Amino acid sequence: MNNKKRDLVSSMLWMALGALFTVGALQQGLMRKGVPGPGFLPFLSGLALIFISLFVWVPALRRREKETKSQFFPEPDSMKKLSLALVALFAFGFALLQIGYILTTFVFMLFMTRIMEPRGWLTSVWVAFLTSALSYFLFTLLEVQLPQGLLGF
């Protein structure tokens, strides 16, 4: 499959998923008693998926491309990186309850920035720290209960 077809098909799949989100959200209701209802966030997410997929779909429609085959994984170590990311994601899910949100997120992001897309240690630590701290404060602000883990945070 050439790049144009791949971009068209993938963007249409994301648009369809976005449409499913919006339809399901409308069935749940966007507003209840003047406050956002259960369908409000999925509705916005569906619209965002549709909108973002247009950034791939429109240029792909305009592109004139010869029928050239390209590899599904363009980089030689792409399959290795994908496998490591999946293992890390599952490990994140299992460790979350035992270790807690902040520490697990920090280690996960450190792994992703150091191993997946190599960055310097200082950059990796800062990205991991900011991601875990800012997401923790966002979830706390939204009153989401997060796993406390062994250390109690």
Kindly state the helix (H) or strand (E) to which residue 36 belongs, with its residue range.
Answer: strand 35-36
Q: With 90 as the cut, is the pLDDT of residue 34 above it?
A: no
> Do 7 and 32 reside in the same domain of the chain?
yes
Amino acid type, 127 = V
> Do 24 and 58 reside in the same domain of the chain?
yes
Which of the listed residues 36, 62, 88 is the one where a domain comes to its end? Answer: 62
> Do 51 and 84 reside in the same domain of the chain?
no
pLDDT at 4: 81
The answer to pTM > 0.75 is no
pLDDT at 65: 64
pLDDT band at 149 (very low <50, low <70, confident <90, very high): confident
Residue 73 is assigned to a structural domain of this protein: no
pLDDT at 97: 86
Closest listed residue to residue 104, CA positions, set 68, 138, 149: 149
Amino acid type, 7 = D
Q: With 70 as the cut, is the pLDDT of residue 122 above it?
A: yes
Residue 70 is assigned to a structural domain of this protein: no
Higher per-residue pLDDT: 36 or 111 = 111
> Do 43 and 93 reside in the same domain of the chain?
no
Mark out the alpha helices in the chain (DSSP H runs).
Answer: 3-28, 40-62, 78-99, 101-111, 121-141
Domain region containing 35: 3-62
> Do 58 and 90 reside in the same domain of the chain?
no
Which of the listed residues 38, 62, 86 is the one where a domain comes to its end? Answer: 62
Mutual angle of helices 101-111 and 121-141, in 10-degree steps: 140
Domain count, the chain: 2
Mean pLDDT across 73-93: 84
pLDDT at 109: 93
pLDDT band at 1 (very low <50, low <70, confident <90, very high): low
pLDDT at 68: 57
What three-state secondary structure class fits 32? strand
| CB 104 within 8 Å of CB 92 | yes
